[in-house]
Amino acid sequence: MNEPTTPQQTPSEILAIQTQYLNRLYEAQMRQTQILEQMAARQAPGAYPVSTGGGDVRITDFRMGFWSLVVLLVKIALAAIPAMIILWTISAIILGLIGFLLSVLFGGIGLLGALLS
């Protein structure tokens, strides 16, 4: 059987090929680094105004489609229902406690006063 043979390379030849390959990789990396540095220079400080804080923010206009705005407002209205239930419950508890304390302090008025006296 005649099998094709590949020429054997010496270790020094293999090392030379690897060195050439690594040099090409290094050069490509250096070109990419230069491109990135150029891009960074174009976006240097001052390219975009940056606030250091302390200033007021004013929104003068925003663009939103009519139906998107309708959907947003419906979601806000639906989210307000459980919030109102929670606030009513908390306020009823607080007002009940205040009413109870006032009736105890002033000797009770009405049914609670008759029960306590």
Domain spans in the chain, listed from the N-terminal domain onward: 11-42, 66-117
Three state DSSP letters for the chain? CCCCCCCCCCHHHHHHHHHHHHHHHHHHHHHHHHHHHHHHHHCCCCCCCCCCCCCCCCCCCCCCCHHHHHHHHHHHHHHHHHHHHHHHHHHHHHHHHHHHHHHHHCCCCCHHHHHHC
- Residue 35 to residue 31: CA distance in whole angstroms: 6
Tell me if 113 sits within 8 A of 103, measured CB to CB.
yes
Banded model confidence at residue 112, pLDDT cuts 50, 70, 90 = low
Tell me if 28 sits within 8 A of 21, measured CB to CB.
no
Across the range 99-116, mean pLDDT stands at 69
Tell me if 108 sits within 8 A of 114, measured CB to CB.
yes
pLDDT at 74: 96
- Residue 30 to residue 36: CA distance in whole angstroms: 10
Across the range 97-117, mean pLDDT stands at 71
Across the range 81-101, mean pLDDT stands at 94
> Structure pTM?
0.38
Banded model confidence at residue 117, pLDDT cuts 50, 70, 90 = low
